[in-house]
Amino acid sequence: MKILVCISNVPDTTSKINFTGDNKEFDKNGVQYVINPWDEYALTRAIELKEAKGGSVTVLNVGEADAEPNIRKALAIGADDAIRVNAHPKDAYFVAQQITAVAKEGGYDMILMGKESIDYNGFQVHNMVGEMMGIPSVTPAFKLDMVDDSTARLEREIEGGKEVVEVKLPFVASAQQPMCEPRIPNMRGIMTARTKPLKVVEPAGGEAKSEYVNYSKPEKKSGVKLIDAENAGELIKLLRNEAKVL
């Protein structure tokens, strides 16, 4: 069984976010990048399936050279090899096109990824890949098991409950907690990751369908005003004239 796991290179949530170029570009200076946390669930579950059933796990990233340290981290966690599409991830459609091109060439049985990236929270790529490849897409799944060599069973949240789905290979699925416990690379994994194959390929054409015109930060929170419990009139006045919620 060949599993393709797509990972994104995203800013650590503890990083200070700034923008450059008239708020039209993200400022990478001083920003620490990590593997998208949702993708770590997909990666760990893929490795668990490989260990239980045999096969291989390939990591795929659409990104530039600065993503390679985190690609190596994915290899250290347990992936067998990696592919980096040498392109800036312009938008979800462009990324889905690149994943589709790699997946079709590699003939993978399962394409896994996180339900969304924590930088843009688009929740789009997995369904686009399924549509482009003409195979089922199950999103977002919190449980994934193999029924037999050609069928998987997934559980996903729906409003008011859960849904159990059985699907034939190949398929696309996005992962969320509590699918598994994400793994941390050990020293042996870190050492072996240095020699595992990391193939760099050029993008397979395709254009972005959208662009980010402008970025902005949330407005700073104003100071707290304390109103005497007996002065309800003043509270109503502030809510109406300043907070404008009445």
Long-range contacts, stretch 160-165, CB < 8 angstroms, 24+ apart: 165/138
- The answer to whether the peptide bond before residue 218 is cis (omega within 30 degrees of 0) is no
What pLDDT, in 10s, does the model give residues 90-140? 899 999 999 999 999 999 999 999 999 988 888 899 999 999 999 999 999
Compute the distance between CA of residue 180 and CA of residue 143 in angstroms, rounded to an integer. Answer: 8
What pLDDT, in 10s, does the model give residues 183-206? 999 999 999 999 999 999 999 988
What percent of the chain clears pLDDT 90, i.e. is strictly above it? 71
CA quadruple 109, 114, 120, 126: dihedral positive or negative?
Answer: positive
Q: Is 91 exposed, middle or buried (0-12, 13-18, 19+ CB in 10 A)?
A: middle
pLDDT of residue 147: 92
The structure's pTM equals 0.85
- Is the pLDDT score of 223 beyond 80? no
Domains and CATH numbers, the chain: 2-217 (3.40.50.620)
What percent of the chain clears pLDDT 70, i.e. is strictly above it? 100
Alpha-carbon dihedral angle through residues 7, 11, 12, 18, given to the nearest 10 degrees: -170
Residue 109 · residue 152 · CB < 8 Å: no
Sequence-distant (6+) residues with CB within 8 A of 188 are none
Sequence-distant (6+) residues with CB within 8 A of 160 are none
Residue 3 · residue 172 · CB < 8 Å: no
Q: What is the DSSP letter of 244?
A: -
DSSP run (H or E) holding 170: none
pLDDT band at 143 (very low <50, low <70, confident <90, very high): very high
- Structure tokens that stand for 126 in this block: 């997995």
